[in-house]
Amino acid sequence: MRSSPRTTPTRARLGGTAAVLAGLCYGAAGYFDRPAISGYTGALVSVLSVAFPALFLGGLLGLHARLPDATQTDFASSAGIVGFVFGCFGAVLGIAGALGLAGTATPLFWWVLFLVGLTLMGLAASLRGGLRLLGAVVSISGALGWVSLLTDPAFSGVLVPMRPVHVAFAAAFCLSWVVWGAVLMVPRENR
């Protein structure tokens, strides 16, 4: 069942707000997370570590509200659906991991699922005429996330452990969420 024309723009704007907040929370968590931090700062980082995957999930829900109709069978629709499922599953695993419920799964595995989903959703949006700008920004966000993840020394699948590169691309990833969240908040008729 497809939502009414009035709820989809509202979901998109709420998702855009969540995306902006996700970028800010992820940036704050990265800034405050240092070795030997105080108890209060550690508690703040723990709260932010739960908040940003939850807000990532909200951003994906808003992005999904703007993507092509799921009843179509073209590549963009299929990529959007698969990306949405992967991204949401990854974000939920991120929330579970931050709460200590992940079990024996690799703590950063959720990032792989999440970034696959984000990349596919960006591709799906960029293949649509009215969503090319949003799709480009989301695709750039996915690429920044991949570089950040693959240079993170804490990631078990790291290609090249380079902390300065990881930090720079993580900061750009945060900013990209703020940008595409802001684009998502603007109603379609005003773009």
Residue 73 has pLDDT above 70, yes or no: no
Give the residue carrying structure tokens 């959720």: 110
Residue 162 has pLDDT above 50, yes or no: yes
Mean pLDDT, all residues of the chain: 84
108 or 6, greater pLDDT = 108
Residue 51 has pLDDT above 90, yes or no: yes
Residue 108 has pLDDT above 70, yes or no: yes
Residue 105 has pLDDT above 70, yes or no: no
Query: Quick one: which of 131, 145, 109, 108 has its CA closest to 23?
Result: 145
Amino acid at 17: T
**pLDDT tens for each residue of 29-44:** 888 887 777 888 888 9
Q: Which two tokens stand for residue 127?
A: 């293949």
Residue 1 has pLDDT above 50, yes or no: no
Q: What is the pTM of this model?
A: 0.85
